[in-house]
Structure 1
Amino acid sequence: MDRHPLVKKVLVDKVEIDSKIDSLANEVNSYYKNKKVKDNTVVIIGLLKGCIPFMASLIKKFDFQCVIDFMIVSSYGGTLTNIHEPKILHNINTDIKDADVLIVEDIIDTGITLNFMKDYLEKKGAKEVKVITLASKPNKLKTNIKPDWNGFEFGDEFLIGYGLDYQERFRNLPYIAICDTDKLNDWEW
């Protein structure tokens, strides 16, 4: 795929992403290998929509049984920054009582949504809630939440690609890049 004109700089290309996903999958497989989990199954919950490219690549590499479900939790509303408290727009249908749950997230930015999610799933009766994320921005965290497994760390740049979006666009880019936000005001879609 050609570089989009709104891409200021590619930070991580597809080869690096694939390699990191292999490494993360190995770590997660090692963790769950000898762990006693309910029904020998880990419940994997993807946070839509950004998790899709990462989760699709990741679960193919898991060596354990899993049930997959999804949630939509919004705290952005189509803007560049977090504007309100998290709100569940689509909930899971899977019973997670006494289950080992793995949340798959594209990026941890402020940590507010993920903190809300982890607390919510624990209150629903999950035995354990672990978090894996493709990327994080440690400098922007506003909570104490930390991923159990993290792919890449970035600064304050506005990122797009590999699930990361601007107003639902750019999720399909095969790399992670800095968005040229200076061009957004005059950009014609």
Structure 2
Amino acid sequence: MDESHIEGDLVDVLFTEKQIQERLGELAAAIEEDYAGKDILLVGVLKGAVMVMADLARHFGRHVEMDWMAISSYGSGTKSSGVVRILKDLDTDISDRHVLVVEDIIDTGLTLSWLISNLNSRGPASVEICTLLRKPEAQQMTVDVKYVGYDIPNEFVVGYGLDFDERYRNLRSIGTLAPHVYS
């Protein structure tokens, strides 16, 4: 799906499909260099990271192993309480493994901070984070992110895995959602 299918729902397009693919290629090259001679386990956080993880993995010039987690943070409305529940855990034992958590977006950092602490308790060789998008203005918890595609303003964005009410995930670009859609 492209922008023509949702005319009027976006304020603007932040990143085109081409820009996203180019940036993922650059991130994959940096990751490959940093992990030369080491096996990497990519851990995607469902559902949002599906597109990012699939396309990032395709940019690698070597084998990578993949696994998935689904986690939920509870709170009222759109606010996270910081209370996290694992909905789908890893199928892979990560002890002594080099783990790269792949995210679509980091905003408050509360849920991701919990996830990193949980993964580190399992005895991996290392745990790093790769995210396509980060909202520095929204950050409430400091999370060390090694690989960042783009820093963006604290706005409601959709597309390329990011949704509003399960819609817009399959949009090939990333754009700012018009307030009339969610208000």
| TM-score where L is the length of structure 1 | 0.88
After the TM superposition, which residues 69-108 of structure 1 pair with which residues of structure 2 at under 5 Å, given as runs?
69-75=67-73, 79-108=77-106
State the AA in 2 paired with 1:27.
A
After the TM superposition, which residues 4-15 of structure 1 pair with which residues of structure 2 at under 5 Å, given as runs?
4=6, 5-15=8-18
Q: What displacement does 1:84 show?
A: 4.7
After the TM superposition, which residues 111-130 of structure 1 pair with which residues of structure 2 at under 5 Å, given as runs?
111-130=109-128
Q: Quote the Cα distance in structure 2 between the aligned partners of 1:149 and 1:3.
A: 32
Please give the secondary structure, in 2, of the residue aligned with 1:102.
strand
Q: Quote the Cα distance in structure 2 between the aligned partners of 1:9 and 1:81.
A: 25
C-alpha distance 79-15 of structure 1, shift in aligned 2 (>3 A)? farther
Unaligned runs of 5+ in 2: none
After the TM superposition, which residues 1-189 of structure 1 pair with which residues of structure 2 at under 5 Å, given as runs?
1=2, 2-4=4-6, 5-34=8-37, 37=38, 41-75=39-73, 79-185=77-183
4+ residue runs over 6 A deviation: none
Mapped contact 1:32–1:64 kept (Cα < 8 A): no
State the Cα RMSD in Å.
1.8
Please give the secondary structure, in 1, of the residue aligned with 2:51.
helix
Unaligned runs of 5+ in 1: none
Identity of aligned residues (%): 33
Q: Quote the Cα distance in structure 2 between the aligned partners of 1:166 and 1:155.
A: 17
Count of matched residue pairs? 180
Report the more deviating stretch, 93-102 or 55-64: 55-64
Mapped contact 1:109–1:140 kept (Cα < 8 A): yes
State the AA in 1 paired with 2:107.
D
| TM-score where L is the length of structure 2 | 0.91
